[in-house]
Amino acid sequence: MSTTSSRARQGRILLEMAMRNLVASRVRTLVVGGIVALGVVVVVLGSSLLDSIDVGMTRSIQDSLGGHVQLYNAASRDPLALYGGTMGESVLEPIDDFARLKAAALTVPGVKQVVPMGIDQAMVSMGNVFDVALERLRADVRRRLEQGAPAEDPDYEAHKAHLRRMATLLQQELRQAREIADETSGVYKDRKADFDALEQAVQGGFWDQFDRDPLASLEFLENRVAPLSLDGGFTFIRYVGTDPEAFQKAFPGAQVVEGASIPPGQRGVLLGKLYAEEWLKLRAARRLDKIKEARELHGRKIARDEELQRWVKENTGQTRDILLQLDPVRTREAVRRLQAALGSRETDPAKLVSALLDTDDRNFDERHRIFYAELAPLLQLYTVKVGDFITIKAPSRSGYVNSVNVPVYGFVEFRGLERSALAGMMSVMDVHSWRDLYGYLTPERAAEIGKLKERAGATTVAREDAEAALFGDGGPAPAPSAAPRAVDEPALLAGSSGRQSREDLFGRRYTQAETDAGVALNAAVILDDPRRIDEIMPKLVAAAAGAGMKVKAVTWLEAAGIVGQSMGLLRMVLYLAVLIIFAVALVIINNAMVMATLQRVKEIGTMRAIGAQRRFVLVLVVVEVVTTGLVFGGLGSILGILIVHAVGWTGGIAATNDTMYFLFSGPALIPRLGTASLVTSVVIVFLVSILSALYPAVLAMRVTPLEAMQSDD
């Protein structure tokens, strides 16, 4: 007991002396304590921001496309990269039987869902505005032929007038281009017949005789005039082929923002909303949106920004896209609306639209509102709308180009990645259409090939018999097996050759077994508990091996490709920044403590002269530093917590560009304080403080009474 009491008494003495020294040296204590408190504030805030970015990015990618674990064929020469790798697209060997892999993976405890995937890029064939207008007029002609031509048909007449006006605008545009072109060039000579056809299409005589043979006139416009328009063509699309129903359940971050989900078991596509905004939207509307974003998010001003001024100039000078969409009825309505909204008496629609789009910092918000409230309802803002069929073409694994026609059911947006050019452009397609593009022999295609072979009388011939079958064996020629007959074109086109009609193909509902029974490039695995990823991955590989399949299992971060690499780089940068802060704090605290120790040489020497041991001096200095760290570290923690909450209460840190939007997984980063990060931050700063005190404590131990008496300080 006496030993324990003696140690307790020594401890109290040390603590009292430490507190007395700290109070007596207020300036030194405040300087060192302030550094410790600032270090804790910085570490608490930095760790909170890092944790928030990490959690947000993890949730966005896992809930949008990555899942928790990704499986792919172990024979693939490239690693899986869902969003593309640094060297481009990854080339994967296919999983030949997804159903078998799914059944094996579901036997692993903790696996909740397995979703088939196939990610690729393709070309989308887009019609131009002429094609849209021609389709409307063709529908009118078909209706008139079926029901009889009514005495008055305002829609039919308006659509004819619209096409004539479009041809006139196209003629004016091409004349301007030809003024600066070399008309002796080969290109001009090759297109001269088409230019002459356009001249014919704007004449009154062509439209006077249109009603006599509307089908021939439509064919003339479609084949000779419409190709002259520079609109439309091809755009590239990045998509994931999957089971749409399973995909929606597995990835809550994929939200249908317009239209509806692809019906279970049916063919279709959900276009990426960001892809539609960037590539399918009316260019004038897209420029208005970009100016609005630049002004509101980045604080840019039209008067001082050359890029914004260029966009305004392009809008006012390029009104053709808008005017081409307006038939006579809509043109009159647009003029009426714009006159009222702008307070103008102008009757020329081109001048009214140009005036509307001539924006500056003073009138932009009002003009933006007028465009979407008054003019946009009369236009088709997107080249493709819900309900349209689009043609998607892609090279198959055999090298030739496959194409599929799929209906657009809606537009999909990935929560947290809405504006990420890396991750937000993805579209979602049904797995059956993806397999057609990939080159997989679906049951429908196999049946079609079989019927074609049957109608053609084709038979399978062995390689060694091919020459005799093609050229004969020298004997008498075989008698013809069938008499010549006329080709039944309508029957062939209607599908008697085995080709399914659009109604049959897209009205069919595939069973779950049919959806699973086929090829996939990779599979997303959803777990009951994401914290068990490292534990479950080897079990998934073993389960697949037991089913006779060799696969690789990677985490969502490894599978994210360039996105995962960006996250890893971001973590390194943030951790390096925190490390630099620690190093600077260590140096500053160490220097402060060294200076404080040198100023106390007499005091320490006196204590040594009256019998204080070196260990006593060492412990005294350490206790002072520990006390300073505890007091000011606690104050720094409280201040850091208040700052974190204050940032959250004020709406967080706004994402001022697309890169920050991607990193923040949304329009703003709201730091969230985690208990683990808070405790870790305080402990780290506390340890840094103790380490900073070691060298001064060693210096204090070496002070002798003689040195103290010889010192002038």
The secondary structure of 460-527 as a DSSP string is ---GGGHHHHHH--SSPPPPPSS------HHHIIIIITSPPPHHHHHH----HHHHHSS-BSEEEEEE
| Alpha carbons 175 and 109: distance in angstroms, whole number | 71
Mean pLDDT for back-to-back runs of 10 residues, the chain (713 residues): 63 67 68 75 78 80 90 91 66 91 96 94 76 81 79 80 82 69 54 76 83 86 77 79 94 93 94 91 93 87 93 89 85 94 92 94 95 94 88 79 90 85 84 88 61 66 62 51 44 43 66 92 94 94 94 89 72 73 68 66 70 72 74 82 85 73 75 72 70 69 64 53
pLDDT of residue 106: 96
Shared-domain flag, residues 580 and 704: yes
As a whole number of Å, the CA-based R_g of the chain is 37
Shared-domain flag, residues 210 and 143: yes
Q: Tell me, what DSSP letter sits at residue 264?
A: T
pLDDT of residue 347: 93
Which residue from 402, 381, 373, 120 is spatially nearest to 273, judged by alpha carbons? 381
Which residue from 25, 3, 50 is spatially nearest to 680, judged by alpha carbons? 50
Shared-domain flag, residues 575 and 691: yes
| Alpha carbons 410 and 116: distance in angstroms, whole number | 21
Shared-domain flag, residues 306 and 373: yes
pLDDT of residue 519: 92
pLDDT of residue 312: 95
Residue at a domain's end among 532, 558, 584: 558
| Alpha carbons 689 and 587: distance in angstroms, whole number | 10
Enumerate the β-bridge partners of residue 678: none
Domains: count for the chain: 4
- What is the token pair recorded at 404? 């599929």
456 contacts: CB under 8 Å, gap ≥ 6 = none
- What is the token pair recorded at 391? 């043609």
| CB 623 within 8 Å of CB 689 | no
Shared-domain flag, residues 582 and 693: yes
| CB 279 within 8 Å of CB 156 | no
Shared-domain flag, residues 690 and 599: yes
Residue 648: inside a domain, yes or no? yes
Q: Tell me, what DSSP letter sits at residue 531?
A: G
pLDDT of residue 140: 85
Q: What is the DSSP string of 392-436?
A: EEEE-TTSSEEEEEEEEEEEEEETT-TT-TTTS--EEEEHHHHHH
| Alpha carbons 68 and 559: distance in angstroms, whole number | 10
pLDDT of residue 336: 95
pLDDT of residue 402: 86
| Alpha carbons 705 and 688: distance in angstroms, whole number | 31
Shared-domain flag, residues 115 and 182: no
Shared-domain flag, residues 215 and 336: no
Calculate helix-pair angle for 562-598, 601-609, nearest 10 degrees: 60
Residue 391: inside a domain, yes or no? no
Owner of token pair 């909303």: 273
Residue 206: inside a domain, yes or no? yes
pLDDT of residue 185: 53
pLDDT of residue 551: 95
Three-state SS for 568? helix
Residue type, 424: G
| Alpha carbons 655 and 652: distance in angstroms, whole number | 9
Cβ count within 10 A of residue 691: 14
Q: Name the phi and psi angles at 132, rounded to 5.
A: -65, -45
Residue at a domain's end among 208, 231, 254: 231
pLDDT of residue 610: 72
279 contacts: CB under 8 Å, gap ≥ 6 = 235
| CB 237 within 8 Å of CB 275 | yes
Which segments of 141-204 are extended strands (E)?
A: none
Which residue from 433, 439, 431 is spatially nearest to 407, judged by alpha carbons? 433
Enumerate the β-bridge partners of residue 242: 117, 430
- What is the token pair recorded at 527? 């777990």
Residue 469: inside a domain, yes or no? no
Range of the domain at 159: 128-231
Shared-domain flag, residues 99 and 139: no
Residue 22: inside a domain, yes or no? yes
Q: What is the DSSP string of 35-103?
A: HHHHHHHHHHHHHHHHHHHHHHHHHHHIIIII-SEEEEETT-SS---TT-BTTB------BS-HHHHHH
| CB 434 within 8 Å of CB 471 | no
Q: Name the phi and psi angles at 120, rounded to 5.
A: -160, 175
| CB 280 within 8 Å of CB 408 | no
Q: Tell me, what DSSP letter sits at residue 281?
A: B
- What is the token pair recorded at 352? 């009214």
Owner of token pair 């002072």: 624
Residue 463: inside a domain, yes or no? no
| Alpha carbons 368 and 365: distance in angstroms, whole number | 5
Shared-domain flag, residues 105 and 43: no
Which residue from 619, 625, 629, 618 is spatially nearest to 683, judged by alpha carbons? 629
87: CATH: 3.30.70.100
Residue at a domain's end among 381, 412, 443: 381
| CB 121 within 8 Å of CB 279 | no
Shared-domain flag, residues 203 and 161: yes
Residue 390: inside a domain, yes or no? no
Q: Name the phi and psi angles at 187, rounded to 5.
A: -65, -45
Shared-domain flag, residues 180 and 90: no
Residue 372: inside a domain, yes or no? yes
| Alpha carbons 315 and 534: distance in angstroms, whole number | 54
